[in-house]
Amino acid sequence: MGIDTSIPVTSTVLTSEQYAESKLAAKPDDGGLGRDAFLTLFTAQLQNQDPLDPMDNESFVSQLAQFSSLESMQSVDNSMQTMAEGMKSDRFLLGANLLGTNINVPGRYSELMEGSYISGKAKVSGNFESLDFVVSNSDGKIVYERRLENVLPGDLSLMWNGKDLTGEQQPSGKYFLKLTATDNGKQTNIPVSTAQTISSVKWNEAKNEVLVEISDGRTFSLQSLEQFNI
């Protein structure tokens, strides 16, 4: 018995033109299968399926589910990108509002400006017999020193008015603050942080964070700073 050729049978094999078009549509900008490419391939598959052996319901539903999942993922991705841009703007605006603000940063040196003073902070972790606060200039010469007694554990504020022990005003420039604790004849250096002025703000694209530059040229992450001074 011969085969009835009166019913046209559509081949499931794409023509060279259709294949080229589907490959072009399937090439997304970001290396993944995009929404338009998925629809192009899915439509081509439906148009070129064998009418005598069409796609079963399970396969059809499965591909629709894939499309729905793709749509959801793209929607979430777009929402996350929008949220990230908003957070970046908010954090950068916060940093910009801090321009000119004094902050305490690690490091025991600071710039003395004319008619101003130098301040610092230290964390005292124990009970010591005494604490010696010393200020020296860039040449290493001690210009001020003071012994502190009965200091309780916790945050300690330090300040120097810019004058030496005789009351003479010292010139503008870089000065170093040192705090030494004495207990049972043993001396321990306590780290000192000094007040600096935020001079510029920039965005670190690699780490997604705001960087602030202080008056002495050093740069810190905004989130690493602990104290801002009014």
Cα gap 151→155, rounded to integer Å: 10
Q: Residue 54: its pLDDT value, please? A: 55
Amino acid, res. 225: L
For the segment 175-196, the average pLDDT, to the nearest whole number, is 90
Residues 89 and 108 in one domain: no
Average pLDDT of the residues in 115-137: 90
DSSP, collapsed to helix, strand or coil, labels residue 181 as: strand
Token pair 């602030």: residue: 212
> Is the model's pLDDT at 174 over the cut of 60?
yes
Is residue 134 within 8 Å of residue 142, measured between CB atoms?
yes
Q: Is residue 154 part of a domain?
A: yes
* Residue 9 domain-assigned (yes or no): no
Contacts 24+ apart (CB under 8 A), 218-227: 218/105, 218/107, 220/105, 222/91, 222/94, 222/95, 222/98, 225/103, 225/104, 225/105, 226/104, 227/103, 227/104, 227/121
Q: Which residues are bridge partners to 219 per DSSP?
A: 213
Using the 8-state DSSP alphabet, how is residue 222 labeled? G
82-94: average pLDDT: 59
Do 53 and 83 reside in the same domain of the chain? yes
Residue at a domain's end among 64, 96, 128: 96
Mean pLDDT across 120-144: 92
What's the structural domain count of the chain? 2
Instruction: Name the band, by pLDDT with cuts 50, 70 and 90, for residue 129.
Output: confident
Quote the DSSP letter at residue 163.
Answer: B
- If asked whether residues 211 and 137 sit together in one domain, one would say yes
Q: Answer yes or no: do 116 and 217 share one domain.
A: yes
For residue 202, what are the CA distances in angstroms to 1, 84, 118, 198?
83, 17, 26, 11
Q: Is the pLDDT of residue 134 over 90?
A: yes
Q: Indicate whether 11 belongs to any domain.
A: no
**150 assigned to some structural domain:** yes
More confident residue, 180 or 93: 180
For the whole model, what pTM was predicted? 0.53
Angle (CA) 93 84 94, round 5°:
15
The answer to whether residue 6 sits within a structural domain is no
107 and 206 fall within a common domain: yes
**pLDDT for residue 83:** 60
Instruction: Average the pLDDT over 59-82 and give the result.
Output: 63
Has residue 167 got a pLDDT over 50?
yes
Q: DSSP letter for 169, please.
A: B
Residues 157, 76: one domain?
no
Domain that holds residue 135: 102-229
d(CA 187, CA 118): 24
Asked whether residue 36 is domain-assigned, the answer is yes
Establish if 32 belongs to a structural domain.
yes
Contact 152, 124 (CB under 8 A): yes
DSSP 82-123: HHHHHHHHHHHHHHHHTTT-EEEEEBSEEEEPTT--EEEEEE
Residues 91 and 120 in one domain: no
Q: What is the CATH number of the domain that holds 211?
A: 2.60.40.4070
Residue 10, domain member (yes or no) = no
CA distances from 152 to 13, 125, 128, 186 (A): 85, 9, 8, 18
Same domain, yes or no, for 77 and 109?
no
Q: Is the model's pLDDT at 12 over the cut of 60?
A: no
Percent of the chain with pLDDT over 70: 57
42 and 137 both lie in a single domain:
no
